[in-house]
Structure 1
Amino acid sequence: MADSRSVIHVQQLAFCYPGAETPSLTGLDLQVEQGEFVAVIGSNGSGKSSLCKALTGLIPHYYTGEMEGSVHVAGLDTRQASVSGLAHKVGYVSQDFENQLVRPTVRQEVEFAPMNFEHLNYEEHATRTLEKLGIAHLSDRYIWQLSGGQKHIAALAAVLSLDPEILIVDEPAAELDPFHAEAVYATLRKLNENDGKTIVVIEHHTEWIAKYCDSVILVAEGRTMWKKPTAEALSCVEELRAHQIFPPQVTQIGERLGLRLDTDLYPMTVEEGIQALKLKAPALFEHATGLTGGLAIRKGEAASAVQLSDISFSYPTMNKVPHTVFKTLDLTIHSGERVALVGGNGAGKSTLLRMMTGLIKPSGGSVSLFGHTVKRPEDAASLAAYIYQKPESMFISDNVRDEISYFGRARRRQGADAFADLLIDRLLLKELQSRDARLLSGGQQRRVSLAIGLSMKPKMLLLDEPTASLDVVSRKEMIALLDQIGGEVETIVTATHDMQLVAEWADRVIVLHQGKIAADLTPARLFSDRDALARFGLRPPQTVELSHSLGLQHPLLTIDRFVAAFAGGIPNAGEEAQIDVAH
């Protein structure tokens, strides 16, 4: 029997997609009360996205299959109510949010739903929503002009325009820079606290969960394992790890150092981490004031891999006013470097990567790779491989093996099939090689796209948001793969919002801001400069925030380094490139 306060009530829900060998949902039970802010967690393929589709009526009305059990949302039976009828009660931003954008401009997109439901004040609805999400300046921008993160915010605005009482968001922070991710979560909390809306998020990043959510639901193998208050849920470190979920870095540090709060739970936030250190381990806290993370030392510069000279770039708009991305940009990347391009949504990170491969031609200036001028994609084909932000953009065949062997066969390279077999083995794709890559999980798709890029035997690899929308285990696998291929690819450049990737993997960071290279430095120096982090809207890993709170001059960038430091020693930082900050 459902609680009278519950707005979501699911009983014994089972669902199997047509043609699937196993069901995605297997007897799932769930109850969410009105006004809750709840996170649904689980590894890739656990059934989280299928649950979202069931709560919005997309299952069974759009996604047909075998369904058992019942789903009631805001008093409506999703079997009986239409999807359009449910849209007044529950808003949904899917993981494939770009497929939800159907109108030419941002304003038209946000106006679309209330206008079609004959709301007389639809323009007012749109204006208020655009301002609430901080994208009023994008209102006349065409959707195709937006970055991935900007499209995500536009999709959220379009859903909010109907003022639903329940909001379901699959990966709210996906493809967003830290500033906009924080703004979206702050908006969700405001909607929850001020307007009483029920918020359900699917989230891999437990730091966001710790900061914003009231409770957590663990989903595994298509069913609910438990629902617990957030602090209690994230302290179940071993159980979460068994389900390939990692709690916040502060919580992992607390577990490894045996630090607990007065509640006997592990700390979740930086503030709680400091409290636990002071109360439970004062000797360790005093020891911290004498620690140093160490800065990078200079190493000699290698030959040039990329040379961008006097680059300018703008693109035309429908109102005939060009939008300028870069004015005068100069950049040299050396062979052997691991470079992270960071910056806000729309800063030009993807544009810069595409320019290096000839997919985009600069309005002015020149591009060269390893001494060869690049004016079109053919000029870069044997030198660099670009791995798209959306892996499915690279898929052209019906199975994984043909995807990976396509380039070698098309170029009539000897041993193309044998090299494809080697990549399939090394990237753990053997069991997936006969499947359609479009139907794989996000982490699996990224492994396939990486194998496609490596099949070209490039000297340089360019990756666009390689860890976006991945759970923590898949993200760790991706970082390990990047380490693994580092000996085969001379240079790797990645555009990313993932500061943990920057801290753990990169040896050079280039910050793009307002059409310029605002800073060019090592991760150690970037994370030591709190003013620069704030100025560029970058959100450092919790290990860095904890280091700053402890008064460390040079932060400890990873969990292992932090734990080792408190155990009495700091691992060798290794050599990192020493590059000056651009003023």
Structure 2
Amino acid sequence: MVKPIIQVEDVSFTYPGAEDKVLNNANLTVNEGEFVAIIGGNGSGKTTLCKTFNGLIPKFYVGDFEGKVTVGNRDTSQFSVAELSQDIGYVYQDFENQIMRPTVLDDASFVPLNYGLADYKERGRWALDVTGLTAIANEFIWELSGGQKHLLAIAGVLAMKPKILIVDEPVAQLDPQHAEEVYRVLKKLNEQFGMTIIVIEHHAELIVEYCQSVVLMDMGRILWKEPVKIALSKVDELVSHNIYPPQITQAARLMVGEGGMAPELPITLEEGIAHFNTFSKITNTSRANKSEIHLKQDKKAIVNMEHVSLQFRNLKKQKKQVLNNINTTFFEGERIAIVGNNGAGKSSLIKLIAGIVKPHKGQVTVLNTSTTNATPERLGKYVSYVYQNPEEMFIEDSVKREIELFLKARKVKDYEVLVETILKDFALTDLKERDARLLSGGQKRRVSLAIGAAMQPSVILLDEPTANLDIATKKHVVHMLETLKEHVKTVIIATHDMQLVSEWATRIIVMHNGEIIADGNRQDIFHNQLVLQKAGLMMPQIVELSMKLGLPEPVYTVEDFCQQFTIIESEDKAYEYI
């Protein structure tokens, strides 16, 4: 028998000083034992809604609150956050802020200890066993990978054995392998322990594989709650809200054509293979190959790395090998993606190029300047490093002043003209007087890219440029990366976003355990299953589908995929392809 565990009735909420409601007459029922994904664009109210479940809103985050939230048989207005949190575990998007203690077991046991439970240590061990962290119970938290830290944050709330677990953006900063690991743990909790799981998620392929139902939010309203198959088949409606279903589903909807009826569409790879095998394929591969670029080796070398190794010492004074004997050259005009699992050495590699860290052995040169002897300030003439967290680059009180800062410090002549050009190219003119720290996630990313471009470097380095962004904002960042071509010679990104890699990069470098294990174009990498498996990578869904269907060449976008069949719609579409 279906039993409601969360009921939201006519809930509205407005933050202090804000004019618009972040929740607007929201109504929702979540049943006991469900695995629910909440989707919606940035600012739609997803996180705010979830914070009403454990009383954080309105008891911690105060504001104008109306309506009623019931969890189990309890009206949340009658109970404290501490009381509600015994039954509701919440893992935040910035999960590292929830890790409080020095060792793994200490942290997993911390919450039940603070509730005065005598069996707090046993609960911590149980939570580590469920999340697969028992083997590292005595390790220090600063020695963990990103994936291990995320699992520890989950273990920390699991130790209370809650009935409900809420996870905000479970895989935002994880490589595909660790993302699957986190979701397998959530599935285990749902199926074996009967826990109700609620995730705020942007990755449609993970929703398909693990979730049972989907809630769509927009402007603080809950538009609907549907089973996954029905929800993700609503392609036109989802895209109108800047949400993108799986690439297979988009392609199937496109083949139906505008105005065509498509009640349920394929949402998995297996369904996509069966569906598209009913269409006739074409043999002309010019469309698929036209975007593949093979750069000639007579291009000018921008960055050169010879026998480069990098070591750090941990708190136990033990040497940790981060990079080992790296040999590679980056050329003018390349768009390079450095990929690999968490801890592979991607960020360390680009920090070496920027001069932020120095090689333990070997030589790194940027335009024949050794980074070993050059200060980061000197290298700043050639190299711009854009941090994963844009706020680390913000100093001034307006977007315009942020972009001007480097140019004024270097006394660049007529810098005002360049600043206006940068503002226009990165769609920041209307935001130029705003404080960058108060902008949305996507806007902050645009500002950070603009700051990097304004330095007029030969090479720009970006660490996870699409991390923590929804799919619609990611698409805008991809456009911004294209804009960078007008301002810099070579662009290098370190990323987990394989869809971004497949659509944007002309060269892909795969790293594993501090070494380069593959270096080539898209076809070289995506055809090498051993490399993908070793590095914990997964090819984008549309690329894998094109291979499974035996198309003459792999394709990298929904648009290119649909062009491989005899039924081709007009160019005027109701939505963009990704």
* TM-score under structure 1 length normalisation: 0.90
Cα distance between partner residues in 2 of 1:129 and 1:101: 14
- The aligned counterpart of 2:156 is 158
SS at match of 2:427: coil
Relative to 1, partners in 2 of residues 1:561 and 1:113: Cα closer, same or farther, differing over 3 Å?
same
- The answer to whether the 8 Å contact 2:399/2:434 transfers is yes
- The aligned counterpart of 2:522 is 523
Query: Offset of 1:444 from its aligned partner?
Result: 1.5
- The aligned counterpart of 1:433 is 432
- The aligned counterpart of 1:546 is 545
- The aligned counterpart of 2:25 is 27
Query: Offset of 1:200 from its aligned partner?
Result: 0.8
The AA in structure 2 aligned to 1:483 is E
Relative to 1, partners in 2 of residues 1:72 and 1:551: Cα closer, same or farther, differing over 3 Å?
same
- The answer to whether the 8 Å contact 1:339/1:507 transfers is yes
- The answer to whether the 8 Å contact 1:74/1:89 transfers is no
Equivalenced residue count is: 563
**Within-5 A mapping of 1:222-371:** 222-258=220-256, 264-278=263-277, 281-284=278-281, 297=294, 299-371=296-368
Could you report, residue by residue, the CA deviation over 1:303-360 in whole angstroms, capped at 9, with x for unpaired residues?
A: 2211222222222222222222123222221121111111111111111111211112
Relative to 1, partners in 2 of residues 1:454 and 1:297: Cα closer, same or farther, differing over 3 Å?
closer
SS at match of 2:536: coil
Percent identity, aligned pairs only, is 44
- The aligned counterpart of 1:563 is 562
The AA in structure 1 aligned to 2:333 is G
Cα distance between partner residues in 1 of 2:385 and 2:301: 18
Could you report, residue by residue, the CA deviation over 1:147-183 in whole angstroms, capped at 9, with x for unpaired residues?
A: 5444333322322232211111111111111111011
Cα distance between partner residues in 1 of 2:44 and 2:182: 25
Cα distance between partner residues in 1 of 2:360 and 2:136: 23
- The aligned counterpart of 2:201 is 203
- The answer to whether the 8 Å contact 2:280/2:566 transfers is no
Counterpart pick for 2:94 among 93, 96, 102: 96
- The answer to whether the 8 Å contact 2:339/2:495 transfers is yes
Structure 2: gaps spanning 5 or more residues: 569-578
Counterpart pick for 2:121 among 120, 123, 138: 123
Relative to 1, partners in 2 of residues 1:263 and 1:560: Cα closer, same or farther, differing over 3 Å?
closer
Query: Offset of 1:61 from its aligned partner?
Result: 2.2
The AA in structure 1 aligned to 2:530 is D
Relative to 1, partners in 2 of residues 1:143 and 1:454: Cα closer, same or farther, differing over 3 Å?
farther
SS at match of 1:330: strand
- The aligned counterpart of 1:474 is 473
Relative to 1, partners in 2 of residues 1:18 and 1:404: Cα closer, same or farther, differing over 3 Å?
farther
- The answer to whether the 8 Å contact 2:507/2:519 transfers is yes
The AA in structure 1 aligned to 2:401 is D
Could you report, residue by residue, the CA deviation over 1:79-111 in whole angstroms, capped at 9, with x for unpaired residues?
A: 332222222111111222232222233333222
Structure 1: gaps spanning 5 or more residues: 570-583
Cα distance between partner residues in 2 of 1:409 and 1:258: 55
SS at match of 1:565: coil
Relative to 1, partners in 2 of residues 1:339 and 1:291: Cα closer, same or farther, differing over 3 Å?
closer
Relative to 1, partners in 2 of residues 1:432 and 1:89: Cα closer, same or farther, differing over 3 Å?
farther
Cα distance between partner residues in 2 of 1:449 and 1:42: 24
**Within-5 A mapping of 1:402-417:** 402-417=401-416
The AA in structure 1 aligned to 2:78 is Q
- The aligned counterpart of 1:575 is none
Relative to 1, partners in 2 of residues 1:257 and 1:381: Cα closer, same or farther, differing over 3 Å?
same
Relative to 1, partners in 2 of residues 1:414 and 1:135: Cα closer, same or farther, differing over 3 Å?
farther
- The aligned counterpart of 2:83 is 85
Query: Offset of 1:193 from its aligned partner?
Result: 1.2
Query: Offset of 1:136 from its aligned partner?
Result: 4.4
- The answer to whether the 8 Å contact 2:526/2:539 transfers is yes
- The aligned counterpart of 2:572 is none
Relative to 1, partners in 2 of residues 1:402 and 1:101: Cα closer, same or farther, differing over 3 Å?
farther
- The aligned counterpart of 2:571 is none
Cα distance between partner residues in 1 of 2:235 and 2:382: 44
- The answer to whether the 8 Å contact 2:512/2:534 transfers is no
Query: Offset of 1:239 from its aligned partner?
Result: 0.8
- The aligned counterpart of 2:450 is 451
Could you report, residue by residue, the CA deviation over 1:523-563 in whole angstroms, capped at 9, with x for unpaired residues?
A: 11111222322232111111122123213464222111111
Relative to 1, partners in 2 of residues 1:69 and 1:264: Cα closer, same or farther, differing over 3 Å?
closer
SS at match of 2:355: coil
SS at match of 1:454: helix
**Within-5 A mapping of 1:98-113:** 98-113=96-111
Is it true that 1:424 corresponds to 2:426 in the alignment?
Answer: no
The AA in structure 2 aligned to 1:83 is V
Cα distance between partner residues in 1 of 2:94 and 2:150: 9
Q: Give the stretch that moved more between structures: 464-473 or 121-130.
A: 121-130
Counterpart pick for 1:176 among 171, 174, 177: 174
- The answer to whether the 8 Å contact 2:305/2:326 transfers is yes
SS at match of 1:566: coil
Cα distance between partner residues in 2 of 1:255 and 1:302: 42
- The aligned counterpart of 1:67 is 65
Cα distance between partner residues in 2 of 1:362 and 1:273: 47
Query: Offset of 1:489 from its aligned partner?
Result: 0.9
- The answer to whether the 8 Å contact 1:292/1:555 transfers is no
Relative to 1, partners in 2 of residues 1:340 and 1:135: Cα closer, same or farther, differing over 3 Å?
farther
The AA in structure 2 aligned to 1:74 is G
- The answer to whether the 8 Å contact 1:110/1:126 transfers is yes
Query: Offset of 1:397 from its aligned partner?
Result: 2.7
Cα distance between partner residues in 1 of 2:422 and 2:78: 49
Cα distance between partner residues in 1 of 2:436 and 2:333: 31
Cα distance between partner residues in 2 of 1:489 and 1:136: 47
* TM-score under structure 2 length normalisation: 0.91
Cα distance between partner residues in 2 of 1:143 and 1:437: 32
- The aligned counterpart of 2:192 is 194
SS at match of 2:78: coil
- The aligned counterpart of 1:580 is none
Relative to 1, partners in 2 of residues 1:264 and 1:289: Cα closer, same or farther, differing over 3 Å?
farther
Query: Offset of 1:19 from its aligned partner?
Result: 2.2
The AA in structure 2 aligned to 1:371 is N
Query: Offset of 1:515 from its aligned partner?
Result: 1.8
- The aligned counterpart of 1:576 is none
Relative to 1, partners in 2 of residues 1:436 and 1:162: Cα closer, same or farther, differing over 3 Å?
farther
Query: Offset of 1:379 from its aligned partner?
Result: 3.0
SS at match of 2:486: coil
Could you report, residue by residue, the CA deviation over 1:397-419 in whole angstroms, capped at 9, with x for unpaired residues?
A: 33333322222233333333443
SS at match of 2:276: helix
Query: Offset of 1:266 from its aligned partner?
Result: 0.8
SS at match of 1:257: helix
- The answer to whether the 8 Å contact 1:291/1:552 transfers is no
Cα distance between partner residues in 2 of 1:47 and 1:392: 22
The AA in structure 2 aligned to 1:310 is H
Q: What is the RMSD computed on CA atoms of the aligned residues?
A: 2.6
SS at match of 1:283: coil
Could you report, residue by residue, the CA deviation over 1:185-231 in whole angstroms, capped at 9, with x for unpaired residues?
A: 11111111111111111111111111111111110011111111111
